[in-house]
Structure 1
């Protein structure tokens, strides 16, 4: 009798080799930026800048993770987007911005007009390239506009944090504590979301490209989003050329309303995803694969938190883990169902729907007819 065939380890080997190569690339990019900043401002100034720039990550990253609560993206892809912005986009932008300044005026190392005409094009291209690579290589994981916004926002957050290190270190090196404080107030306190606001436009285009069935729109949407990002970035940078009084007026009349619009956009985007989950999962109610009460829970962050807490109190860690897995699988199922409704009935999509339905069907059994669900009339849509 022949021995069973040896398992093919090549896919696993390729995956780990890819991870290793990407990690090395990020490490070299991050090291290159640290060397560049240290050469310009010194070790002490660089260290101070690194510490203070963490405030940006501490404020901006949680916002995009909050945006990603319903259908959580793979951790590896989120980390990739953040590190791309911090390690690769910054180093590439530094080189290309310097090249642009030299082309404008070879006599000046940094030309003032480069901030308006060169930097927006270069930086938005570099920041947007990371999420675009994710769309190209991991298309199945990009389920819509919100996913594109999350990946683009994290890439921009990484970029902003490292760029702030450059400016904070330079401010301290050239003007001491006064320069450090003024730079911190302008870049970290008053405009931590500047870069994410621009690059989210590219992310919206990427999200549209991931879901549309129109071939032309797959190319035009990211380009249109990139154009919006470059335009907003250029207008924002014009404010830096104004005198102090003019800059404050510019900030109040343009930059602050732009931030309010950005906050409104991300809140509406998350509400839209909740509506989408409710609508798509509702299609399984008539078939008896889900109850209306379950759909209410799965399409509400508040009810999801309640369900997690209830599962933990009544079933311990095991039940809590099962509830979390059920919620994640149901969210992914809704996104797959949305693909089917848009006309994508390819074999992998149909197989994914069947697989996710099976997971949800198994996990939901433990919680059926329990006090977990607080919505109970005939259609399960009225609170007790």
Structure 2
């Protein structure tokens, strides 16, 4: 759930002369005459001479009212000033023509804005991604090499090939969920290697230590192997996977735009852990590799995703709350849910005594949570469409977008129809860039409502507005004129 939406912070940058302002259009300001100027509705005061109107207030000579949302008085320093030359591509915008419902071509009304100083962005540092990829990659490679030394290179090679099955199928599903606003691919690679390298390495060292220690402290009477599986693995593994998700949230906050993003990052970290762990199980159980493959890769490939995604969703909810400290209590809730699910699965398997028990465990503790998680993912995608629509609609009054464009950009069905239309005129890459930029713009606008990254979000907003107009202009430049477009 999201908290009520406060108004975004006032803009801290100046827009180019005559450019439409993001957000609701400013209320008209009556012209301020100079001292002694005749006032509307009453006579000039005696003793004062009629003074000329002060420049920068009221209607200025040469200023054109904006069509579609009423004439706006020029603000101080805006509009056509004496001696000021209007910038090309700005000023009065022609009215938007009615758009057909499907497919909807973007409106050609807005020309690309010119280069402006505040839209200049420095390259985003990728230190976190480099650390995740290098550290995770080295540890994952070392773990696989260790398995080869313990067993054989041939055995590990077969195990790696079998582990590719869940990697490809689950990876494709994650990418499908992430189509709305794709996360940076390099960051996803880092998340995958954190799960498959760092989390696996630490869990291999600590599971057998933490589990028996807790069993002894609690007086459970569990043997060391069972204690490691039931107590050690859930606590240590979910802590390490959760730490990777939390690092992305804290360091790459601008890429963590809600519960759906959190679910994607949690799923990718869990997938990395699951794939490397599969290699370990397949290699160490070479004689029963076929049965282990069926049990892990075919019947329960989503286990780690089911455990870890709640942590990502919890952090995604925190990203939408106004309190910057919301993650301090939401993340522990997600972690406890992950530990409970993992502990229930491992504990049930450890004490199962018949085939009927196994069937019940798979259905109740794996497939049912998976179905619930899939339903939540679909619901989150629909919620994200509503968020995109609400935030993009903020730009309609000022003329950056038309209502028809907002409707086309906040619906997966309409976006697919627009890409099909663009493919027919050779503009599909430009259309895809236009749609993805619009989604990023909507999330930057959402960050202004939460106030988490207000200054950076305002900079992103200015840059993305320029990029959006440029992508739209490219689509229209490539499009062959057709009736109705």
> TM-score scaled by structure 1?
0.84
1:1-384 alignment, distance < 5 Å: 22-101=132-211, 103=213, 111-172=225-286, 176=287, 179-241=288-350, 242-245=352-355, 246-314=357-425, 316=426, 319-344=427-452, 346-367=454-475
Structure 1 residues 17, 132: CA separation in 2 closer, same or farther (over 3 Å shift)?
A: closer
Report if aligned partners of 1:311, 1:323 keep a CA contact under 8 Å in 2.
yes
- Separation (CA, whole Å) in 2 of partners of 1:307 and 1:55: 34
Post-superposition offset of 1:44: 2.4
Which deviates the most, 253-262 or 83-92?
253-262
- Separation (CA, whole Å) in 1 of partners of 2:125 and 2:416: 34
Report if aligned partners of 1:125, 1:226 keep a CA contact under 8 Å in 2.
yes
Aligned residue for 1:46, secondary structure, equals: helix
Post-superposition offset of 1:167: 1.2
Post-superposition offset of 1:137: 1.5
Runs of 4+ in 1 over 3 A off after TM superposition: 14-24, 101-105, 365-376
- Separation (CA, whole Å) in 1 of partners of 2:144 and 2:318: 35
Q: Deviations over 1:308-358 (max 9, x none)?
A: 2322321x2xx3222122111100011111122234573222221122112
- Separation (CA, whole Å) in 1 of partners of 2:423 and 2:152: 51
Structure 2 runs not aligned, ≥5 long:
1-121, 217-221
Post-superposition offset of 1:62: 1.5
Max Rg structure: 2
- Separation (CA, whole Å) in 2 of partners of 1:221 and 1:187: 30
Higher fraction of helix: 1
Structure 1 residues 345, 137: CA separation in 2 closer, same or farther (over 3 Å shift)?
A: closer
Highest relative contact order (Cα 8 Å, sep 6+), 1 or 2?
Answer: 2
- Separation (CA, whole Å) in 2 of partners of 1:227 and 1:374: 58
> TM-score scaled by structure 2?
0.68
Report if aligned partners of 1:239, 1:251 keep a CA contact under 8 Å in 2.
no
- Separation (CA, whole Å) in 1 of partners of 2:249 and 2:174: 18
- Separation (CA, whole Å) in 2 of partners of 1:95 and 1:39: 18
Structure 1 residues 262, 134: CA separation in 2 closer, same or farther (over 3 Å shift)?
A: same
Indicate the residue corresponding to 2:8 in structure 1.
none
Report if aligned partners of 2:163, 2:297 keep a CA contact under 8 Å in 1.
yes
Structure 1 residues 46, 372: CA separation in 2 closer, same or farther (over 3 Å shift)?
A: farther
What's the C-alpha RMSD, in Å, of the aligned pairs? Answer: 2.8
Post-superposition offset of 1:375: 11
Report if aligned partners of 1:152, 1:196 keep a CA contact under 8 Å in 2.
yes
- Separation (CA, whole Å) in 2 of partners of 1:84 and 1:148: 15
Report if aligned partners of 2:349, 2:361 keep a CA contact under 8 Å in 1.
no
Aligned residue for 2:226, secondary structure, equals: coil
Q: Deviations over 1:253-275 (max 9, x none)?
A: 34321111011111111111112
Report if aligned partners of 1:98, 1:109 keep a CA contact under 8 Å in 2.
no
Report if aligned partners of 1:29, 1:88 keep a CA contact under 8 Å in 2.
yes
- Separation (CA, whole Å) in 2 of partners of 1:372 and 1:41: 65
- Separation (CA, whole Å) in 1 of partners of 2:392 and 2:481: 19
